[in-house]
Structure 1
Amino acid sequence: MMMMMRMLQMILLLTESVLISSYQLNSTVECERPDKKKTVRVLAGESLYLPCPNDDCHIETENTSYEWFKYIQRTEQVEQIGTEESERIHYHLSELYILWLTLNDTGRYITRWWYEEDKCDEYETDVVVYEEFNTDLLDYTPEEEKPSKIYCPVCEYQQATFIWYKNFSLIPNQESAGYLLLRNSSKESAGIYTCVCTWEHNGIKHNRSGFRELIIRDMSSSTPTFQLPINNSIVITDVGTELILQCSVFFGRTVCDECSVQWERNKTRIDAVNGYKQETRKQGGIMESFLTITKVSELDLGSEYRCRAEDSYEYFYVSIILKRKESMIPVILACVCTFLLVLVLSGIVKWFSLDLVLFLREIIAKLNRTEDGKLYDAYVIYQRNLEEKTDKTVSDFVNGSLLTVLESYCGFKLFIHGRDDLPGEDCMDLTESKIQLSRRLIIILTPETSTTSSAAYDLELGLHQALVQGETGVILIQLGKMQDYTHLPLGLQHLLCKNSPLLWRDGETSPNSRFWKRVRYRMPVASSHWRSSLRNISLECQPLTV
């Protein structure tokens, strides 16, 4: 039993190899292939009866043989179609049947007709399946201005019955024929006509729809209409490149045997000139002419090109101008210069931003000055009783640069211990009241910590005023370099996390230095009654204007 099964398998394999070799042998015969290919457009769900595209191939079925194939684009191979009528896709002699079409049936179908033993023709038909109605399904045929019949574009070789629709609405009382009679046709007759033909195969009825658009030509507007190009338009190109010029003219739906569209250069027709190729085609009343310039030359740039359309009576034309593509170098240079200019202006604005803000703030303050009940512009908190060197640095800064710049030059009113307190006053009450009467707190930071109770108290009270009550702004000024701030109170460390201190370098006494501008930026506007007494002071403190 096993031997018989193996022998049967070998026979099947040999048979299959013989069939394959036979097909490959036949495929080596060079068939003649017409250049013209046919395209058939159909709707999904309907059925297609596809005869051989050539009339002789379709009619002369005696002493001939046929083969049908489908080209598989994915694998670039052909697949032979069978003859079993039980299959959805099969063929009978010169007729191919694709029943109940699906989108996957879209593709190229090949008919091979053997009219002699070693001679054959091969025809290709592209089938396109649409899921729903598409304008590509419309069939255009030139009509007279008053047509009397519309022929169904499908089911030409079949016994079938027909139903007609206009603009997808059923036309009642129409004969079941392959054409539709139009009585007293007028412009109202224009529209999309659909014929649904019903045919039978193996006892089963199948449908196929054909679509045809009817456009009634208006004889009053018979002048050709240019769709492309626009008259006196400019086409940008470059020397040495290929250029295709398109001219599209609408002549109407009627047959116009003497209509033509041609390209001219300098009012001379271009015919069989090296480097130029002209191709014309016509479809649905529109005639198009394509002029291909293989390599644009300087002569082309200096020439006038025009498209000439001619009907049975006269001619019309539109002109175009070829223009060299402008160099991008000036545009790039302009962009680079603009970028550099913006960069420089941004740098200038950033560098002088403090001066600009201070200048504007001075103007706004003069126009909108309101009293807030404060007596001092800033309360200065600094540590005392430090080491001799540090204490001298702090004293020189507070009693020297700070007073000189902020009070003498800029007109701010500061409260400083030892200078503005009165003998016999309670230190704590004095500190609390003066801080409440101050708009800012200036806290001087040093690398050392003071043990003086008064310095610690005004610092603690000032931090409470700034952090808890949020009524007073704080300006931190650091004297000298510090490795860290761990020796400072926690509230002060919290402020340092939010705002970096202003670092003062010894010798910065000019009111127009970067440091003092930043201090003044964080200070309020100087008190008005102080300004009135400082009208004749030097203007060195005024901000630079841009």
Structure 2
Amino acid sequence: VWSLLLCGLSIALPAFVRADVCKVISMPNETTSVDGPFAFNCTYPPLTSGEVNITWYKNSSRIPISKHSESRIHQDQTWILFLPFALEDTGIYQCVIEGRNSCHRIHLNLSVHKKYWCNGSRNGLLNLSEEYKQILHVGDDGSLTCHLIFPESCVFDLIKWYKDCEEIKGERFTPLRAMLTVNNVSVEDGGNYACKARLKHMGKTYTVLNGITVNTTERTGYGGNIPKIIYPKNNSIEVLPGSTLIVDCKIIDMRDNTNLRCWKVRNTLVNDYYNESGRVREGIEDPVRFREHISYTVNITFLEVKMEDYDLPFMCHAGVSTAYIILKLPVPDFRAYLIGGLLALTVVAVSVVWLYNVFKIDVVLWYRSAFYSPETMEDGKLYDAYVLYPKPHQESQSHAVDTLVLKILPEVLERQCGYKLFIFGRDEFPGQAVADVIYENTRLCRRLIVILVPESPGFGLLKNMSEEQIAVYNALIQDGIKVILIELGKIDNYTAMPESIQYIRQKHG
């Protein structure tokens, strides 16, 4: 029984405690606006530099995101695309990168905020994304960038620029695709800007709206414009010890600038600081060239996060511009452990109940053989059961009843299990009156076993038994003695039985 129980648990529990073979890569949160298109590209060198298979999932679902281009949410090569993003899409998405000998899982936490466009009740562009902060230098010619990061299947046109709810016009401002050039920047050019673009995909059109907070600064002694670090934002990242982590430093700089872009820790280049172990490395710089500026991406890769990395600022440097990240231990999610524990307990309970129902007789017999005490119970009873059985007229039925009562029951209940039976026709003394035998011995028994046999039509059950036996049997029902009915063959019609037997059958089965 214990072997069967352990076997059942070993089959049922793995579905709930199966370990994920993929390494988890923590990613920063992404915030997008409701009712607007959104895209995220799952490409992280060197993980995606070779032949890999990339699949997107939502939350902990095992069903991949659809790759059908007509779906509102679908995977476009390495991208996940929302056309548009809805409030119910908020959650954690997983990008699984599977190579020949590796598997990485990137968690992307998407949250939503509401973008308010200018209308009669609002005086400005409120609650637009604060991610895009750009700087214009007074007295210089500068440019603003509308970040339209989408896959190649998305085509943009009709890009318009606004400042403080009014479309930008004038000789000093020149829209050029995703850029807005500003000549002879003045202090008044700072403020809230927005770029509005029309996106076309599979014959449908959508509107992308990005807000940009522009600050103006005086020209410094530094040669050239100051680089702009889009990310990180001096923020913290929650990551588990032992995980693989990749963080991108996104920088925008002018084409003519020769600023150094790198990651440092404790004022030392990360490649030098971790020279011996190579556990933390700076990635290869990935530039994207535009007409007047270049967008750089320089990542830092933690092959294995250790406790010594926590609460330590990792600085991204771009010329005189700096920004840092700090690794933090994630807050434990006790709900997952609680749900997993409850599911495991439920599986164990269901398995035990199922196994007991199937093998309960074996369990009882094992318990009896292990813990049964042969000592007589102090209840004044001499017998464990009184066996009451009929004497059928048919020879075949009579032989079957005698075999059961006089051979099988004594062999099993008395010799093997240690019970003591009183069998009428075997244990009474010669010459005793039937009524006296039944009356005296039934009072000395703890149970009453009644043998029932299927009868031919017109042959009533127990009709050949004495009136004293039936009277005592009816009295036993009132005295509350436990009655066990045994059918020797299937009985189709119970209506011919005495009402007392029908009552016992209905009550106890």
Query: Please, what TM-score do these two structures have when normalized by structure 1?
Result: 0.35
**Higher relative CO (CA 8 A, sep ≥ 6), structure 1 or 2?**
2
Mark the structure with the bigger radius of gyration. 1
Task: Say which structure is richer in helix.
Answer: 1
Q: TM-score, length-normalised on structure 2?
A: 0.37
